[in-house]
Amino acid sequence: MPNSRRHFKFEVRLAAYIVALAIAAASPLLALLEPASIVVCGQAALPGGVIKVVVDGRVAAKARCYFNGRRYRLFPAGKVYRALVPVEVDAQPWSSGTVTVHYKSLFGDKVLYSGPVRVGEPDFDVIKLKISRRKTKLYRDPAVPDARKLISRALSKRDQEQQWRGLFIMPVSGRISAPFGQRRVRRNKTLSYHLGMDIAASSGTVVAAVNDGVVAVAGYFPLQGNAVIINHGQGVFSACYHMSALATREGLSVKKGDAVGKVGSTGISTGPHVHWSMFIHGVPVNPADWTRIVY
């Protein structure tokens, strides 16, 4: 009896090996049963640019997207799923990163896509920084850290639904007095980057919502002045700063072109203008791109 039991055990083990081998051999075939087509736009991105990852197919809803190890949510966009990945303004030119799309199946984590993204050299404006006494005083305002916290908390929301449609519009028409990415230097050292686009316009001009969304923030802050931040859904936000007056309030739905305020020079500002910022998951990106590219 002990002999036949040992024999039985051996047979069970052999059967288990055969099943395991069969699964290993069949997994490429199973992969074919879970087709996904993946399109990545922006493989040659500039700092402040956006990498768009579109996943289509049966596994799209369960796919995960990563850029340089950080995970970005894939949100529904019509029949496909899409992740918008921001490239930081201070990303090293000529560096490269990797976009990967994974799918967790019964047989473990499977890489559906892995491809490089090369960061190009931006032609950012450079200006020598001059700090006036008034500005230094504003930066020291005790309300500054609270404002920063409030704004970053608002920008961290990720509503499932896409609110924006088509191209974004400029909040006012006028001369761009400071482009996105402008590098502020002192003694050859980069102190900061301009994280939005400044548009000069006369005081009192109506400031428009750059696209559809819900007003996430409408208030006064020491550096930003009168500010409106709009939640466009799926981690995308726009902000307009330095206004003389607000024409909306938190929680209101706005349509592209609706008045949200008036041009002014409140907060840290040297003349009437609108500072327009765009954010993805809290990372500032170049607003100019959003007026030319449909994301």
Interface residues toward Zn ion, by CB under 5 A: 196, 198, 275
Tokens of 108: 């473990």
CB 180 to Zn ion: min, Å:
9
CB 193 to Zn ion: min, Å:
11
CB 276 to Zn ion: min, Å:
8
CB closer to Zn ion, 181 vs 196: 196
CB closer to Zn ion, 42 vs 196: 196
Short-list 134, 152, 125, 126, CA closest to 268? 134
Q: State whether the Cα torsion 122-98-284-82 is positive or negative.
A: positive
Rounded Cα distance between 295 and 274, Å, is: 23
CB 148 to Zn ion: min, Å:
16
Residue the block writes with tokens 């997207």: 65
Q: Which residues pair with 217 in a beta bridge?
A: 229
Rounded Cα distance between 226 and 53, Å, is: 35
Phi, psi of 145 (to 5 degrees): -60, -35
CB closer to Zn ion, 198 vs 289: 198
CB closer to Zn ion, 198 vs 212: 198
CB 268 to Zn ion: min, Å:
8
Q: Letter for the amino acid at 54?
A: V
CB closer to Zn ion, 87 vs 199: 199
Kindly give, in sequence order, each residue whose CB lies less than 8 Å from that of residue 147, ignoring residues fewer than 6 positions away: 221, 222, 223, 224
CB 240 to Zn ion: min, Å:
10
CB 84 to Zn ion: min, Å:
23
272 CB-side CA count, 13 A? 16
CB closer to Zn ion, 102 vs 275: 275
CB 242 to Zn ion: min, Å:
8
CB closer to Zn ion, 98 vs 192: 192
Tokens of 214: 């819900």
Q: Are 252 and 128 in contact (CB under 8 A)?
A: no
What does the CA dihedral 89, 91, 94, 100 come to, rounded to 10 degrees?
-110
CB closer to Zn ion, 59 vs 243: 243
Phi, psi of 39 (to 5 degrees): -120, 130
Q: Are 165 and 292 in contact (CB under 8 A)?
A: no
